Amino acid sequence: MGKDKSEVNSSAGLRDEGQSRESVCAGSIKRETRKPRLKRINRQQLVMRPMDVEQLVPEDHEVRAIWEFVGCLDLSRYYEDIEVIEGEAGRPALDPRLMISLWIYAYSKGIGSAREVSRLCEYDPAYQWLTGMEPINYHTLSDFRVDHKEALDDLFTEVLGLLSAEGLISLERVMHDGTKVKACAGADTFRREERVRTHLEAARQQVEQMGDPRLAEEVSPRVAKARQRALREKQQRLEKALEELKKIRACKSSQEEKQEARVSMTDPQARIMKQSDGGYAPSYNVQISTDAKEKMIVGMGVSQSGSDYGELVAAVDRVEASGGQEPTEVVVDGGFTSRENILAMSEREVDLIGSMGAGVAQSAGQLKRRGVDQGFYPEAFHYDAVRDTYSCPAGKILRPDGEEKRPGRTNYKYRACAMDCQACSFRQKCCPQNGAKGRSIVRGVDAPEVAAFIAKMETDEAKKIYRQRGAVAEFPNAWIKDKIGLRQFRLRGLVKVGMEALWACLTYNIKQWIRLRWRPQWA
Ligand code: SF4
């Protein structure tokens, strides 16, 4: 009597709390007396287990597909280089089929380091299955990757032959594109001639001092040999850098630019190129041609040029060399659509489909830079085809003033009388920088092949084909960068990065074959 509701609840709450405390105490006593029994880890024991190497990977593991595919290829170019002969003394050589399979499998997993592949051969079941549990030295792996340039080119052609025989390549429609892959060199390794010569002189002196017996005594013969090799390579690289600097200078137009030219001391053949994110980095331009049928790569080349304009003809040559015939149709983006390329493709009877690149479309940028008002652009001038003259917005006549022939186009120049322009009230809008000579305009006449190309690209059919370009041409580029991880080369120099890119393309093609032909049989 007299207790309010809250007091009752509060005393009840205390009772509950007291009870739960007791049970918790009882529980903890129980836990203290009952110790859990855990399985002990015994790292002192020696274990011997029988291992069936064949069972290391399941039947449908892709490493078996790679082994099977490589086994179907003619590897005689690789076997030619092996000096150890059956029945004679000498350590047996590693089978090129194994080395190729190892690299293809490693690249397919995004591994491009020889040391890493060597490590994986020690414990990864797929690598162990390939090698039969035998270790492989990383030097052997590394040398094999770059030692057989011609054999690797042949291997790529062989693979294309197999894919073609399986109906995966038609060469009817080939989509071509370029992508920049960063070089194995930093932007801070670029130096002007003076600095390169200083470093070269220092390297030469170091090489000369190598023969000093006092220095050789300080380290082991193995270390001394490694140092000597590194110094010789450094000297060769710097000599190469001076050669490359001459080539870089030859591409520069002004004397000032030639003086300022710089070259990488780490990878002299790399060039600073614009990247897709708008930045600049030492890179190579990897050109990939992809067959539209099943997105197989049918041609690959590496260039030092940051621009794609000059790469199309070489790309078609490569497809012809590796595929045995020219593609019927080539689809490219605006970076390749120059008048020169249109003429070259027309001469080879290759049907070119491409967007109207800056090389074909007329630009108003130059007039804008000269300060010409939009109302006085060439469209505002009337052409009289009978008299072959133009009349300007002020009604004055512009007469022929020479012509300039360019590949795929002839430019006819017309000029107004200087006195007319000087007296004209529109002068500041029409020719603000050229009053002394009188305003001129250019009438460009495209070659028939270029005119036909422009007309073709206006049709719905051509536009429809062009719309497929991105999905086909950019797919292998993205795959090679994302899956194989080839965003930056591990090797240096044009030949070696070309081989690295070719390994990536081979892997891409074999992976597509696994997806399209090998995998379905296990589905
Ligand atoms: S500046 Fe010369 S070309 Fe231009 S409108 Fe005047 S007269 Fe014609």
What would the pLDDT profile of 195-225 be if each residue is shown by its tens digit?
999 998 888 888 887 766 666 566 777 787 8
Rounded to whole angstroms, the Cα distance separating 85 from 322 reads 32
pLDDT greater than 90 at residue 514: yes
Rounded to whole angstroms, the Cα distance separating 18 from 30 reads 19
Does the CA dihedral 291-296-298-304 come out positive or negative?
Answer: positive
Mean pLDDT of 495-501: 97
Q: Is 155 in the pocket of ligand 1 (CB under 6 A)?
A: no
Q: Is 396 in the pocket of ligand 1 (CB under 6 A)?
A: yes
In this predicted structure, what is the pLDDT of residue 212? 65
Mutating to test ligand 1, I would choose from 381, 397, 439, 440 the residue with most ligand atoms within 8 A of its C-beta, which is: 439
Ligand 1 atom, smallest distance to 424 CA: 6
Distance from the alpha carbon of residue 447 to the mean position of ligand 1, in angstroms: 30
Q: Is 441 in the pocket of ligand 1 (CB under 6 A)?
A: no
Q: Is 373 in the pocket of ligand 1 (CB under 6 A)?
A: no
Number of H helices, E strands in the chain: 21, 13
In this predicted structure, what is the pLDDT of residue 226? 82
H helix or E strand, kind and range, residue 512 = helix 494-513
Q: Where are the strands (E) in 277-373, listed by range?
A: 280-291, 296-303, 329-332, 351-354
pLDDT greater than 90 at residue 253: no
Rounded to whole angstroms, the Cα distance separating 204 from 227 reads 14
Q: Is 424 in the pocket of ligand 1 (CB under 6 A)?
A: yes
In this predicted structure, what is the pLDDT of residue 150? 94
Distance from the alpha carbon of residue 442 to the mean position of ligand 1, in angstroms: 15
In this predicted structure, what is the pLDDT of residue 511? 97
Q: For residue 433, with 0-12 CB atoms within 10 Å meaning exposed, 13-18 middle and 19 or more buried, which class applies?
A: exposed
Q: Is 151 in the pocket of ligand 1 (CB under 6 A)?
A: no
- Find, among 315, 268, 322, the residue nearest to 496 by Cα: 268
Mean pLDDT of 384-413: 94
In Å, what is the CA distance from 188 to each residue of 15, 314, 494? 76, 32, 20
pLDDT band at 130 (very low <50, low <70, confident <90, very high): very high
Distance from the alpha carbon of residue 405 to the mean position of ligand 1, in angstroms: 26
Mutating to test ligand 1, I would choose from 376, 379, 392 the residue with most ligand atoms within 8 A of its C-beta, which is: 392
Distance from the alpha carbon of residue 454 to the mean position of ligand 1, in angstroms: 31
Residue 441: partners with Cβ closer than 8 Å, 6 or more residues away: 378, 381, 390, 398, 413, 414
Of residues 370 and 508, the one with the higher pLDDT is 508
pLDDT greater than 90 at residue 274: yes
Distance from the alpha carbon of residue 369 to the mean position of ligand 1, in angstroms: 18
CA 140 to chain centre: 26
- Find, among 340, 339, 345, 287, the residue nearest to 311 by Cα: 287
